[in-house]
Amino acid sequence: MRIISGQFRGRRLNAPRLPHTRPTTDFARTALFNILNHHWNLTSVRVLDLFAGAGSVALEFVSRGAVAVTAVDNDALCIRHLQRINAQWSLSNFQIVHAAVEQFLEHASGRYDIVFADPPHGYEGLQQLPDRILASGLLYPRGWLILETPRKVSFADHPTHFDQRQYGQIAFHFFSVPRSISAG
């Protein structure tokens, strides 16, 4: 795994081997950030990465100059890995939160332009996750929720779902916050 673009382009992440994580591949991340670059000025966004794991997506946002990036994960090895990178790279726009995503959503404050979530395969609350994130009030109006799932998962019938892109065995699902939910 490496950073694709920005200030830290080419740096390797050297994440510890964790059986329950599957970092977003360089190929899929490149495709995702090509989409994002066409719709967002990445140097002016606030980003939340849920189930951050090895941090490849969060650190890509950091490298591309996001105003603030918060990475949330419950695994102590992932958190130590992210803390090590944070210290080595002297990051000022990167916050790491050691918490279960469910508890974070219940108690978190702040607002984000983009929320990225990559729950582990077999995550029991997957179908309810978009609604939980959207109802949390963490996204700005017209903010995007991007959910990474196995290719076979569909959210086409979800009222806030507006796009799905497939890359290899994974899919990115895009949701946008309606004003009625975000005005809260």
Whose structure tokens read 């799932």? 149
Judge whether 145 and 117 are in contact, CB under 8 Å: yes
Residue 183 pLDDT > 70? no
pLDDT digits (tens, 9 = 90+) for 100-112: 999 999 998 899 9
Give the model's pLDDT for residue 184: 44
CA atoms of 144 and 140, how far apart (whole Å):
8
The pTM (predicted TM-score) of the whole model is 0.93
Residue 11 pLDDT > 50? yes
Judge whether 64 and 43 are in contact, CB under 8 Å: yes
Give the model's pLDDT for residue 178: 66
Residue 141: other Cβ atoms inside 10 A: 13
Residue 173 CA: distances (Å) to CA of 117, 149, 151: 10, 8, 10
Judge whether 44 and 67 are in contact, CB under 8 Å: yes
Q: Which domains does the chain have, with CATH numbers?
A: 31-182 (3.40.50.150)
Give the model's pLDDT for residue 21: 66
CA atoms of 85 and 123, how far apart (whole Å):
27
pLDDT digits (tens, 9 = 90+) for 14-64: 777 766 666 788 899 999 999 999 999 999 999 999 999 999 999 999 999
DSSP states of the chain: -B--SSTTTT-B--PPP-TT--PPPHHHHHHHHHHHHHH--GGG-EEEEET-TT-HHHHHHHHTT-SEEEEEE--HHHHHHHHHHHHHHT-SSEEEEES-HHHHHHH----EEEEEE-PPTT-TTGGGHHHHHHHTT-EEEEEEEEEEEETT---TTSTTEEEEEEETTEEEEEEE--HHHHT-
Mean pLDDT score, 104-122: 93
First to last CA, the chain: 39
Band (pLDDT 50/70/90 cuts) for residue 180 is low
